[in-house]
A and B are shown apart, each in its own frame.
Chain A
Amino acid sequence: MTASANATRGLFAVVAWRNLWRNPRRTWLTAGGIAFATALVVFSTSIQVGSYDGMIDTATRLVSSHIQVQHPEFHDDPRMRYTVADGVALTERVSRLPGVAGAAPRAEAFALLSTEERSFGGLVLGVDPERERQVSDLPKTLSRGEYLPGPDDAFIGAALARNLDISLGDELLVLGTGKEGSVGALALRVGGIFETGHEDTDRSLILVPLTTLQEGFDLGDEVHRILVAADSISAIDDVARSIELTLDEGYRTLKWNELMPEIEQGIQIDWVSAQLMYWLLLILVAFAIVNTFMMTVFERTREFGMLLAIGMRPASIMGMLQVEAVAMWAIGASIGLAIALSVIGWLSQTGIAFGEIAEGMDEISANYFIPERMYPGFSLESIAMSPAVLGLATLGAAFGTSLRLRRIRPVDALRTED
């Protein structure tokens, strides 16, 4: 770059910057619009991203974990006989892969859960009590008693306990079909009761030690699922890939979004509808920016005529308007980002507790796997989208309106009134 080019650019910057403040009210209104849209979209998008991460985390921690290894047929046709052989050893192998925070085997059976008085259908999960803690929050939802203290103890949902009218220490019979079609039966004692807040889970699930279920339902050393928790949500894809590369073809690796497609679909619908609103807002602000630059070009026609007359090229004047546009965008976007990031930074520390916002939100949140306390999430898209779109809109507005300069004849422009 030549020194003279630098000198000319310096001039453009000075003139452009001062021109912004010829009409400070208009500049502040336009920059304020950019700031408002930037702050709103960045903040809202961050909250959305955070809520999605929270939903995925809550749902996966409660039920499915991030990744599962299954028999190839089991996901589409969950029959008792579609098992993974030597599940404990396989779990051990998977748990040593990089990016894996924990792995745990599960066997399961649909069964009739009976007391002396009542019977209900439910899902019996056979879990490794210690390993289960690595992949699931179910053990943490203990509300009474103990979490699987012994081989004949059951850990049952609070709603199910109410429905069966049983409490801690009471007997519970489990009756189902074993792997080979035989009768599967367990005689259990209620050792602990959990309460997740998620109705379906609390009403239909019981946990028993894995070996107890394997023995009672003729499963031997087989399991139905190996649950794998990744170090983070962003690591899930890599971990799933490395599991697939490690295991033989006789297994199927499924990620959370395949296990719970309804969660992903819900997130996608929410994201798209929010994006529509954001784009509408950004388009409205873009029109305000176009209006500002149209006013600028019309008001300064005479000045542009003079600049053309003394030998300034139209492209140079357009460049000067582009510098004004960048400066106005920079002011608005900086203020907007500063506001949004301050609020996001503060909420990152405190979180948003839905239960404190409105009564009854706790239950609704639990049923939709929304965490009790939600934190905003950071992503390049959430922070960059709004400033980038408005930046392009501002430059486009300045460029589009300044195209008129190419049609201005200095003689005519000099005759216009200020």
Chain B
Amino acid sequence: MQSRRSPGFWLLITLVWIVVGFLLAPMFITVPISLTPTRFVSMPDGEYSLRHYETVFTGDAWLGPLGDSAMVGIGATLIATFVGGAAAIGLWRIGGRAARIIGVLALMPMIVPPIVTALALSRAWVTLGLFDTVIGVILSHAILGMPFVFMTTSAALEGLDPRIVEAARSLGAGPFRVVRDVIVPNVRAGLVTGGLFAFMISWDEIIVTLFVSSRSVFTLPRKIWSDIRDNLDPAVAAVSTLMIVATLVAATLYLARDLLRARTGATR
């Protein structure tokens, strides 16, 4: 396929980069708007100001939600990684029809539309006294993140030779030691990737959060949501810019590490 490339192929590549432009461009509009000196959303007219970043970093209006989001995100990630990862490992060892059925069950929170989950959890949390509590929001986000940890860990386990477990068992390791010292180190990449997914899902979650919390837990997406609905505040652009920069830094690091690894030919 690579020997001869028709003009048609290069036409396609051009179209594809236009699509990529469409995917990436809108995110950069927040940068100039966040630097506007005016109090309303506008393109800066030769004059720039950092006042909206000052708004974000002073006072409780933005730092409060930021703290809530971080706390909820970390809690949800820990629970989702522990519960989802443990189940993936257990079912990998158990196997059979029961494991397959539970495997589908574990994916349900990912499949059910978020608004339906929101309704269900809202009712349940009111009954259980978890409504508008940190624990309640953490649990909701953990439920949404679990399927992702389950999937990535299961995928990592697929590449693991089951005989490694038998070897450890025959050398006298109990089930607990096998999991801790043999299986977990081998699927660490799957657990970490899943945990990262779980954190990002929690960090970005809005629909379920709107239904399981009201005032005492106020996450960052909730703050952005109410600001977008009330009026267009350039502070939202400043927060957006910060979040996008964080994403880009992470992506660059990933790309650099990946390239470096390909260059040196290292395997792990």
Note whether A and B form a binding pair: no
Q: Which residues of B contact A (CB under 8 A)?
A: none
